[in-house]
């Protein structure tokens, strides 16, 4: 592997094996955790997003049958069906290896291992893990794009001085990464302006991601915007990327931002300041790179005076302001 990347967990009841694995692998991967007690696997998986789990098949309770290894393999895959597991054992045979792979293991390594073989297996496993994560994000993106395809879209109509001024502003601000706030009444076409800003940007090759803030319930705000992990709440049956992750590298359009409650305004502000998100049910932060465009039909300055909209959030989203109206 070129460079250090990947997070690995090694679980084995032999301290010498753990030491050898840690000393070798830490030269090649970004993070190596080791654990002697398999009972701690669920907690470790909750606290860290591992690309690969190297799992001993035989613990002290069951010296050679591999049954504990199969039990924990199945338990890991119950917690995270996309987990990439490589089983390790000193008592391996072809039959056990075939069964392990049939039950969901990615590969099988014999102890004592050859370092070159271990490194090749770990490298392949990390690549598989990355591919699985990309599939999750792409699936979320496809769902969002399918929903957006039904959205009405039309080109600007009219050549009034006001419209020409708007077009000029879009041409100037589009190529920058400046955040944009679009003000205008309902039905004036604020999303058309947002899409035009995106088309004039360096992010135009990536999908434009639109969110109607007025349609997201208070309880689902974090899940929709930041994503969630499987089991985070009752209906969270699989990992799901939020809109910030989906829009990373592209433009995120937050329509009717004036409808946000103050608690959710605070959450949004924190995300915009840190440029990272944490999925609901996880404590692992992910960096995001978005160009933000917001819109509202509400009197945002009056709302600040009435303390129903945060001034610091307005400052964050209001680098460039565009007033859009039908003329």
Report domain extents, the chain: 7-134, 151-323
Q: 7-134 — its CATH code?
A: 3.40.50.2300
Q: Which CATH superfamily, name and number, covers 151-323? A: P-loop containing nucleotide triphosphate hydrolases (3.40.50.300)
The answer to whether the beta carbons of residues 4 and 25 sit under 8 Å apart is no
Average pLDDT value for the chain: 84
Q: Which residue's structure tokens are 């917690």?
A: 79
The answer to whether the beta carbons of residues 197 and 171 sit under 8 Å apart is no
61 pLDDT band (50/70/90 cuts)? low
Q: Of the candidates 13, 76, 18, 81, which has an alpha carbon nearest to the alpha carbon of residue 42? A: 76
Q: Which residue's structure tokens are 């089983």?
A: 87
Q: pLDDT digits over 296-310, tens only?
A: 999 999 999 999 999
pLDDT reported for residue 153: 35
Strands 227-228 and 240-241: antiparallel
- What the block records as the tokens of 136 is 């999750």
Q: What is the distance in angstroms between the CA of the first residue and the CA of the last residue of the chain?
A: 60
313: helix, coil or strand? helix
pLDDT surpasses 70 at 64: no
The answer to whether the beta carbons of residues 156 and 192 sit under 8 Å apart is yes
Lowest model confidence (mean pLDDT) among 130-134, 225-229, 239-243:
130-134
117 pLDDT band (50/70/90 cuts)? confident
CA distance 288 to 77: 28
CA distance 76 to 74: 5
Q: In what order do the strands lie in the sheet with 291-296?
A: 209-212, 251-255, 291-296, 180-183, 320-323
- CA 315 vs CA 120, 220, 311: distances in Å: 50, 25, 6
- What the block records as the tokens of 96 is 């056990």
| Contacts of 25 by beta carbon, 8 Å cutoff, 6+ apart | 8, 10, 32, 118, 119, 122
Q: What is the pTM of this model?
A: 0.56
% the chain with pLDDT above 70: 86
- Do 7-134 and 151-323 have matching folds? yes
pLDDT reported for residue 150: 40
Dihedral class, residue 264 (left if φ above 0, else alpha if ψ from -120 to 50, else beta):
alpha
pLDDT reported for residue 141: 64
Dihedral class, residue 106 (left if φ above 0, else alpha if ψ from -120 to 50, else beta):
alpha
């Amino acid at each position: 592997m070129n460079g250090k990347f990947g997070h690995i967990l090694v679980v084995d009841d032999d301290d010498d094996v753990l030491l050898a694995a840690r000393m070798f692998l830490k030269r090649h991967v970004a993070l190596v955790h080791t654990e002697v007690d398999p009972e701690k696997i669920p907690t470790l998986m909750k606290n860290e997003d591992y690309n690969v789990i190297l799992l001993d098949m035989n613990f002290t309770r069951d010296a050679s049958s591999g049954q504990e290894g199969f039990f924990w393999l199945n338990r890991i895959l119950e917690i995270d069906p996309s987990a990439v597991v490589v089983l390790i054992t000193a008592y391996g045979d072809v039959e056990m290896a075939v069964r392990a792979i049939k039950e969901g293991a990615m590969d099988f390594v014999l102890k004592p291992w050859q370092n070159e073989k271990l490194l090749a297996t770990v490298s392949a496993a990390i690549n598989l893990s990355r591919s699985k994560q990309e599939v999750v994000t792409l699936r979320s993106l496809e769902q969002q794009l399918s929903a957006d395809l039904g959205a009405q879209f039309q080109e600007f109509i009219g050549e009034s001085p006001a419209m020409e001024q708007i077009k000029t502003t879009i041409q100037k601000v589009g190529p920058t990464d400046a955040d944009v706030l679009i003000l205008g009444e309902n039905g004036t076409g604020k999303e058309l302006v947002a899409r035009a800003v995106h088309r004039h940007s360096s992010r135009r090759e990536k999908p434009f991601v639109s969110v109607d803030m007025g349609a997201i319930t208070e309880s689902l705000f974090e899940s929709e915007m930041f994503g969630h992990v499987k089991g985070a709440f009752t209906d969270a049956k699989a990992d799901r990327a939020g809109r910030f992750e989906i829009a990373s590298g592209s433009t995120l359009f937050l329509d009717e931002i004036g409808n946000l409650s103050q608690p959710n305004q605070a959450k949004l502000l924190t995300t915009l300041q840190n440029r990272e998100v944490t999925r609901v049910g996880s404590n692992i932060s992910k960096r995001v790179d978005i160009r933000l465009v917001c819109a509202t039909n509400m009197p945002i300055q009056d709302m600040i005076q009435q303390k129903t909209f945060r001034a610091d959030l307005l400052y964050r989203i209001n680098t460039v302001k565009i007033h859009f109206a039908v003329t």
